Chains A and B, each alone.
Chain A
Amino acid sequence: MSIRSRIVALPACLLLGLTLVCAALVPAPGQAQDTAAGPIQSVLQAHRALIEKSSRKTVGEAIDAITGSGLPQAQSVLESWQAKEMWQRETDGYFFRGREIDRDTVQLYDFDSGADLGPVPDDDLKQLKPNSGVRGLIGAALVRFQLTDPDPEKRRAALDAIARDAEASHLDAIAASIAGETDAAIKAAKERTLRLLTIRFSDVENERLAAIRSFKGDLGVDARAALNPLLATKVLFSPEPPVGNIAHQVSPGGAELSVAEAHAMMVTAGATPALPGAAERKATLIAHIDGGKVGGVPIGQLDTQAARDRAYAALAEAGVVAPFTPGQTEADAVASGRFWAVYDEPSAAITDAAAETLAAISTTVGVNQALDLTLDALSLASIYFLAAIGLAITFGVMGVINMAHGEFIMMGAYTGYVIQQIVPDYTLSILLAIPVAFAVTFAAGVAMERLVIRWLYHRPLETLLATFGISIALQQLAKNIFGTQARPLTAPAWLDGAWALNDVVGISYIRIAIFVLALVFLAIYLWIMNRTRLGLETRAVTQNPKMAGSMGINPDRVNMLTFGLGSGIAGIAGVAIGLFAKVTSELGQDYIVQSFMTVVVGGVGNVWGTLAGATLIGFLQKGIEWLNPSNTLAAQTYMIIFIIIFIQFRPRGIIALKGRAAGD
């Protein structure tokens, strides 16, 4: 036994000896300072134990000591510590800033002088790895330094960090940093953050009141986030008005306090006996089954509530359970109780001011939300308009129902996708995709008109069916070529992001681009129809093909070109829609019914009607969604029902053609 232990101990002895020799031979850098530790090193050494065994609960004292030392090096110490760049020499316990060069060597720097102590083998060094809780505390302490950092970006980042996770200690730090702030924008942000922190953490009531009032009409989410907690209440049961900042009296049964909760409160307070529910009484009955009977009632008869009540009454009479009157309800019991909502915030002045400020804010927010909703609705309307304008030409002007219109939209979107595969630059590929998509769908439209539609001009219902056949064929073809998964059509980087007026009103750049595109198309359409030979001929053919023909217009050619134009516009709409929706073979299908609705509601044969229809449908859908935001399916359902009823009153749409062109 002893021999063995000696053999084991020998290498250990050797190792120890070697280390000692090494330590003696290699002059450890910074050893000169052993005797005279710098000021910050002294502070660190004073709290050495806390720093070594850092835990979120205890380390605060050490951090406070470092920050409170007032030394210029304090910031770099904290930064290194937080970044896990602080190393401790195990022999004497001194701390250094270190950077790992490789697995075994560390480049060390002295904290006090900042002197480079050269690369050192890490045998004697231990890296301090504070956990995330401790790093958070260090970060909070660092804020004081960061708020006065010369780099504006760092100051901004520090403010953001405070906004995310504010603490009472930040209050003084910000207040102290404002005076020296040179950047006007950051100064304003600091002052705003200061006011927010004052509301939350200040002890001086007047300051808080002033801060609260200063946020009247402010749209920031952070302002509401700071004010709302002030109005948090809790509901108490008390026969007399309780002490504290009472908000109002509560009657049970509302959103604030359910009858069951109210009853539970009264039972806890001992003001009313507990009412066992039906399930509880059933459990009691089961527990008291005695030889096939409960309270004298055979089990087989317990299949009605009345029989169960009888059995329970019998048990109560026998004194086994607490008595219970079947007719009594919780609502009766709570009717006699008085309930109060009491603010968590003790000061009535504060809560009044907060309520007043929030009311003012909510008015402003309401106005801005209406504005935001209007923007959303406009954007939706422009999407519907884009999808429908091609249809307004083929259906509205030519009277041809093209069920494959949606598939032309899809074709345009896929064209954009294919071009992005070939041309990697997003801006260029989108600019290229628009004319190419027009060309592709124009060709498809002309081919369809030549091959199918012109044989069916006198049979509109059959056009519907034939084009539907083409539509399912095209859809399946797209599925076969591109697969069923969605393909991305990526917008160029300059279309990313959103234009935000304030925290409430904002709209993405893609939607603005689509809105502009819709306006451009409106202009192009008006120009073609009113200012070009094709438009003139189209209008003539629409009104009377035979007369137009006798005037030297070739109706076949005009129909072909008009149909191609409508299809081509659908292709461009496809590129636009593909930018924000996933490109799948069902892309067009999702828009086809809405597009027809737009044209029908607006009035056939008039682009202003299509515009009005798209606007009506866009605003209507957003309006219904606003009333019931959780349910877009219901919004669509109600919108369609509205349209069906709308058609009752204006069967020819909002803008109806009059005279001969109206046909009939």
Chain B
Amino acid sequence: MNRSFVLRNPSILVFLALLAFFTLAVTALSEGFGVALISTSFVKTLGKTLCLALVAVAMDLVWGYCGILSLGHFAFFGLGGYMIGMWLMYERTRGIVEASLAEAPIPPTPQEVVDAIGNQIFGVVGSSEFPLVWAFADSLVLQLLLVVILPGLLALVFGWLAFRSRVTGVYLSILTQAMTLALSLYLFQNDSGLRGNNGLSGLQNLPGLDAVPQAVVSIWFLWASALALGLGYLLAAWLVSGKFGSVVRGIRDNEARVRFLGYSVESYKLVIFTLTAMIAGIAGALYYPQAGIINPAEIAPIASIYLAVWVAIGGRGRLYGAVIGAVFVSLVSTWFTGGQAPDVNLGFYTVKWVDWWLIVLGLSFVLVTLFAPKGIGGLFDLIAARRGPDRHGDDLGPDQGSLREKEAVE
């Protein structure tokens, strides 16, 4: 027990080394800092993928380790994006408004500046007043805090309500999905104060940094995303390696037994749920400035289900599995849906991947669930020569991944 947790989990070092190598390699090949082999837009895609990997790590914590299939984590991701988007949009609009008001015969009062910003931002939804939710939009620090606090608070309230009434399993999944749907429908309204289905746009322009080309900004965000992913991964790995992690896994495998052992199951679940929501918020806050636009469609329940798909394909219950799943599926999706994949001519029919990719994804997802419950991450077990017990289709014990006593001893 004297060994530090990093030594006990060598995969962490491998992962961090790979992440660092990847980041440096992309930087060296980028337009902004290197030999310009990789286009800026692809650097942004890679940076966004790192953010998706981070939210997948959060999803793995809550689903793969705690057994809560949350269909709401992409809502937290979107909320984080909205929070940072508000500041970006406010400050950038202020820059534009101040530049145009500077040409007026007499200088503007602060109130006039705020009114003009409101007019600019909310003109599309037929309003010019700042709603209450924008109260802190002029302060970067407060909005950055909100990136963490708002998803955390929502998860705390929702989780407390759900866990205390012992809603578990598929019911909880449906309930989280309903929460996500409610949030996205709410944001779709024009009078929700966040510009309805127009969403927030122009987020790729950093206020006050107009002179810096996007090629450079994209690398900054790549670094920030890589740093966040690295730290998030470390935090998650540290959490699940200690006693806390054991209890959380116990909850996944047999909730009632852990409760009878005297642990406060609800508190553990609530901590995991809230913490992962915060991580998702941070990931979103890094993702949307790279995407440039956020609108309520991003929060729709389907996005959260895709998140679960990534984690399942990558391999639940292992953090690097979540990262692999998110990176692999989102990059392959980009490749297929971006029209880069060559069409397959079958003679009687030409398979256009843009049309058929979702079908392939859906079916491969069924196949992974049926035949490879461990996902891509399970391949690493082959390398480590760690085999799961072959039970010839019987139940897998208390819960799926766990070993029975006899097997564990072997």
Contacts and interface: CB of A to CB of B under 8 A. Distances in A.
Interface in A300-342: 300, 302-305, 308
A640 B105 contact: no
B395 interface: yes
B111 A305 contact: yes
Contacts of B158: 644
A72 B301 CA distance: 74
Contacts of A640: 178-179, 181-182, 185
A480 B107 contact: no
Contacts of A479: 355
B257 interface: no
Interface stretch (A163-171, A454-462, A544-552): A454-462
Given A302-B106, A647-B175, A476 B188 contact: no
Contacts, number: 158
Interface residues of B, number: 55
A470 B358 contact: no
Interface string A470-505: 111111110110000000000000000000000000
Nearest to A651: B165
Given A631-B189, A633-B188, A466 B366 contact: yes
A477 B109 contact: no
A469 B365 contact: yes
A293 to B, nearest CB: 11
A465 B166 contact: no
A476 B301 CA distance: 17
A468 B305 contact: yes
Contacts of A474: 362
Nearest to A457: B395
Given A286-B105, A299-B106, A468 B370 contact: no
Q: Determine the interface band of chain A, counting residues with CB < 8 A from chain B.
A: 35 or more
A470 B365 CA distance: 8
B370 A472 contact: no
Contacts of B366: 452, 466, 469-470, 473
B301 A593 contact: yes
Given A636-B182, A637-B186, A651-B165, A456 B370 contact: yes
A637 B182 contact: yes
Nearest to B182: A640
A308 B109 contact: yes
B376 to A, nearest CB: 15
Contacts of A464: 69, 170, 173
A460 B169 contact: yes
A641 interface: yes
Interface in B367-408: 369-370, 373, 395-396, 400
B175 A476 contact: no
B21 interface: no
**Residue among B178, B305, B373, B400 having the largest count of chain A Cβ atoms under 10 Å:** B178
B189 A472 contact: no
A662 interface: no
A324 B185 CA distance: 49
A648 interface: yes
Contacts of B107: 299-300, 302-303
A363 to B, nearest CB: 32
B316 to A, nearest CB: 10
A476 B356 contact: yes
Given A644-B158, A644-B175, A466 B106 contact: no
A476 B185 CA distance: 23
Interface in B202-261: none
Nearest to A630: B191
Contacts of A461: 67, 69, 169-170, 173
A460 B182 CA distance: 24
A480 B355 contact: yes
A84 interface: no
Contact of B359 (A460, A477, A649): A477
B309 A468 contact: yes
A77 interface: no
B161 interface: yes
B105 to A, nearest CB: 5
Nearest to B360: A473
Contacts of A428: none
A154 interface: no
B301 A289 contact: no
A600 B189 contact: no
Contacts of B369: 456, 462, 465-466, 469
A634 interface: yes
Given A285-B106, A596-B174, A637-B186, A452 B365 contact: no
Contact of A473 (B188, B309, B359, B395): B359
B34 interface: no
Contacts of A401: 170, 173-174
Interface string A620-664: 000000000001011011001101110111010000000000000
Interface in A432-472: 452, 455-456, 458-462, 464-466, 468-472
A631 to B, nearest CB: 6
B106 A644 contact: no
B106 A282 contact: yes
Contacts of A647: 162, 165, 167, 171, 175
B165 A648 contact: yes
Contacts of A194: none
Nearest to B106: A302
Contact of A289 (B69, B105, B356): B105
B331 interface: no
Given A285-B106, A465-B369, A644 B161 contact: yes
Given A469-B309, A469-B365, A593-B177, A651 B166 contact: yes
B358 A475 contact: yes
Contacts of A475: 358
Nearest to B191: A631
Contacts of B95: none
A305, A469, A651 interface centre (most CB from chain B within 10 Å): A469
A592 to B, nearest CB: 9
Nearest to B396: A458
A294 interface: yes
A465 B308 contact: yes
A458 B395 contact: yes
A354 interface: no
A596 B301 CA distance: 14
Contact of A597 (B167, B178, B361): B178
B108 interface: yes
A471 B362 contact: yes
Contact of A469 (B67, B110, B161, B363): B363
B312 interface: yes
A462 B359 CA distance: 18
Nearest to A306: B109
Given A286-B106, A596-B177, 11 more contacts: A303-B107, A458-B395, A461-B173, A473-B358, A480-B355, A593-B177, A634-B186, A636-B185, A644-B175, A647-B165, A648-B165
24 contacts: A286-B105, A299-B106, A302-B106, A401-B173, A452-B366, A452-B370, A459-B400, A465-B308, A465-B365, A465-B369, A466-B366, A472-B358, A472-B362, A473-B358, A475-B358, A479-B355, A589-B302, A593-B174, A593-B301, A596-B177, A631-B189, A640-B182, A644-B175, A644-B179
A-B interface, 10 closest residue pairs, ranked by CB to CB distance from nearest: A473-B362, A469-B365, A640-B182, A476-B358, A303-B107, A472-B362, A466-B369, A469-B362, A469-B366, A637-B186
Interface of B: 67, 69, 105-111, 158, 161-162, 164-167, 169-171, 173-175, 177-179, 181-183, 185-186, 188-189, 191, 301-302, 305, 308-309, 312, 355-356, 358-359, 361-366, 369-370, 373, 395-396, 400
Interface of A: 282, 285-286, 289, 294, 299-300, 302-305, 308, 401, 403, 452, 455-456, 458-462, 464-466, 468-477, 479-480, 589, 593, 596-597, 600, 631, 633-634, 636-637, 640-641, 643-645, 647-649, 651
